[in-house]
Structure 1
Amino acid sequence: VVRLGVEHRPHEVVRLRAGYTWRPSPAPVPTGTFNYVDNDAHLFAIGAGFTFADPLEVRQNPVTFDVVYQATLMADQPVEKSLGAADPVGDYTAGGVIHSVGIAFRHDL
């Protein structure tokens, strides 16, 4: 499995991050009565982290705030069912893009 990640620190309080991974599907191609739809996927992510001194000056440890965006590109996978007319779902193609966002706030006591 390929995984790549980089982090750049343009300023002492800012960290910029990017990453990529390819995730092969753990599920077999659904040809029988089951319908596991979990295609191979390319995952791309970008993010930023910010570190600040405690604005309330209560603690010595810094406050960190992170944001991230991830796009999961699932390759189109045609599925041909072998059950014929007895299968109410029939043949189909599955794939698409999943968009994810996240935030994290950390303040160690």
Structure 2
Amino acid sequence: MSIRDIIEGKKQWRAHMARVKALPPDYEIVYKEIQRYYFKVGPVGLVEGPLLPGLLDFFEEGAATGKGVLELIGDDVAAFADDLIKDSRTYADIYQESRPPA
């Protein structure tokens, strides 16, 4: 990865986070909680993949219709977040696969 790639990645991330900050407050809070959870759980390819941008697009569309975020995703934010990554490989999966059987 070159310096140019790193700089471009930072520009894209800042633009992404500017879009998050432009969301209504309830959407921004839920988005950041889901994002924090994903950074802990670690789906492979999270930052450069389509998951977070797709979630942001979904939230922007929901906000544009005037719905509250919980109307859009349901009352159980954790279940919604887990459902989005249920078929994704995580770094925990990779670690478990690399360990010899006990």
TM-score (norm 2): 0.26
**More helix as a share of residues:** 2
**More strand as a share of residues:** 1
Q: Looking at both structures, which has the greater relative contact order when contacts are Cα pairs under 8 Å and sequence separation is at least 6?
A: 2
Larger radius of gyration: 1
TM-score (norm 1): 0.25
